[in-house]
Structure 1
């Protein structure tokens, strides 16, 4: 039997590659004769770079010193090294750049949340470096952002100028956007000739109750007053740039999707793009079962997340898909053998403390209980 193991990262606990390896180890303990193909997945969030690097021969990491995400108006800000990925020429394109916002401007780089002053400038520095290196196409993974700056930090790093009513440059951070009076794009670098694609699992608009500030602001530390202030800033940005703020994905990464779309990038579902790049789309044709997973499976998982995308891919190929998750909080009718690590470990914290152990155990359980003629009798893990 050929089994594809294609999980997302279990955020904050174990990478997608390590999760796939652990599930494979458990499965192999029970069914060593099976052909196991590990294809770690991502959807544009944290772990995208690692998933692509592990699957594409010749992928090369490039390190760049970038500005940290919470510098605000401080010109003496700390910096750190961040990587982008250069892929060999393929599919009619020259070298392709893959850039992960989380690597430069992700929330994990904050020692404390900074809802008004966090920014995407470091992410823009990575884009700038990749463009200057001669790439022909660029893929931009924008999950795990720290800021709500509408992508203005990234655009500033690419040559844009954001100016207040006193003809001063605005400091970095979404909290300063209400003072925006004029936008100067004359020196803004152009996307590469093969285009720029934003990889995102988010379809929220820029503004309103489902927009960047209201939905994602609290995750970045914003209270009600700060959310209102950030919303006003994004409204001001949209009025000055003039692009419709209501398109799906505009609100991704604190409005970075909006800023990048104004730059000329196309927003696409991240999981589908990654699946094509790393070969999952073709691999499922010869598989008998796919195993996918993530840290927390809920009703949002079906909407652009790895687990939802893989389930759809399996349905198209008419093969079953099994689910392994740290915690299961949503309907699992699309999956056979839904397995919760927190149930196996008897608590969420125990599962987080040793994810490799419990992923291996999940692999053993799936291998011992799953068979093509017995797909629905996989134990009481739902």
Structure 2
């Protein structure tokens, strides 16, 4: 039996790679001779860098950059084989996890470090970039990233406005005389499943601001500031990112990339599928096991397990999904490629216990799932 193991990470609990290994152990406990192929995946957020290096080969490099609140942090990027595409994982430079919960403030947080990470890769000779934008602490519309790459954002008196989402309403003009010319020679692909626009009810501030520590009052200020920044972007570039689908990803940094860079967006899971050669692995497969921390009605809108299941469904391969939490509305998933959904929680336990035991619980559930699937296949 050939089984493809392709989970995402279980956020805050276990990485995609470790989850895949745990599932494999469960399978092998019942079927030691099963052919298992591990394809840990991500959707363009945290963990994408490691998944792509594992899939395509390459090296992981580090650089000291400015963290979201100004302190230096050690960030990472990857160089993929064979074309030396640089994978920039924004969270390592400007991520929410870098800030203690009580200090999170998107009015102050900046994407400057992400710009420094891009500059580091440019200095290394990279001209092809893959941008993984998930997990950011910021809501500055990419302003800090632009500043790190040579753009000066000036107030009405010609002074620099400073950094963070709280400064955007003071920007009166842009001086791009020191803009890094290598950007025009490069290409940038944004790996993102987010379709939210820059501003509005579904925009960056109102949807994602509260997750980054913004109070209701902060959210309104951030919305006003991003609107003012979008107006300045339109004046400078002729591009209106205000309602552009996807421009609201990662606090609006996606909008800055789309306005100022030779950039395009592609669904994160599709990029990972291509690099991992999942379609080739699915040939003659008997079963796919995927999963992530929570499965519910939102999974059908393009989250990682759905992308995996859609590819498997094209070839008639059943997909079983494992989850830490199974929410409402999963019935819709059965119509679009997922065969069944299973919670890995085996009995009453706290969230903390479930998260700390994720590896063990994945192993146990994978064994039970494969036992059932194998028995059904033999009967048929």
Same fold, TM-score > 0.5, yes or no: yes
Say which structure is richer in helix: 2
| Other-structure match for 2:104 | 113
Quick check: 110-119 or 198-207, which moved more?
110-119
In the alignment, is residue 98 of structure 1 matched against residue 97 of structure 2?
no
Distance (whole Å) between structure 1 residues aligned to residue 133 and residue 347 of structure 2: 33
CA contact (8 A) 2:16 2:41 kept: yes
State the secondary structure of the residue aligned to 2:306: helix
Extract structure 1 runs of 4+ deviating beyond 4 A: 343-347, 372-375
1:52-91 alignment, distance < 5 Å: 52-57=52-57, 59-71=58-70, 78-89=71-82
Structure 1 equivalent of residue 268 of structure 2: 270
* Paired residues of 1:5 and 1:37 also in contact (CA < 8 A): yes
Partner of 2:355: 352
Name the CA shift for 1:192/1:182 in 2 (closer, same or farther; >3 Å): closer
- 2-structure distance, mates of 1:143, 1:28: 33
Q: Equivalent residue for 2:12? A: 12
Q: For residues 24 and 255 of structure 1, do their structure 2 counterparts lie closer, same or farther at Cα, with a shift above 3 Å needed?
A: same
> C-alpha displacement at 1:348, in angstroms?
3.3
The CA deviation at 1:194 is: 5.4
Q: For 1:142 and 1:345, how far apart are their aligned partners in 2?
A: 35
Query: In 2, Cα distance between the equivalents of 1:281 and 1:171?
Result: 47
**Unaligned 5+ runs, structure 2:** none
For the aligned residues, what is the CA RMSD? 1.8
Q: Are 1:204 and 1:210, in contact at CA under 8 Å, matched by a contact in 2?
A: yes
TM-score by length of 2: 0.92
Give the Cα separation in 1 of the matches to 2:318 and 2:266: 26
* SS at 1:286 equivalent: coil
Q: Is the contact between residue 52 and residue 80 of structure 2 (CA under 8 Å) also seen in structure 1?
A: no
**Residues 192 and 181 of structure 1: is their aligned pair in 2 closer, same or farther, counting only changes over 3 Å?**
closer
The number of equivalent residue pairs is 365
Q: Which aligned pairs between 1:73-222 and structure 2 lie closer than 5 A?
A: 78-89=71-82, 94-111=83-100, 112-189=103-180, 190-191=182-183, 193=185, 195-222=187-214
Q: Distance between the aligned counterparts of 2:222 and 2:121, measured in 1?
A: 30
Q: CA deviation at 1:320?
A: 0.7
Q: Which SS does the other structure have where 1:217 is aligned?
A: helix
Shift of 1:14: 0.5
- Structure-1-length-normalised TM-score: 0.91
User: Is the CA contact 1:43–1:304 (under 8 Å) kept in the aligned structure 2?
Assistant: no
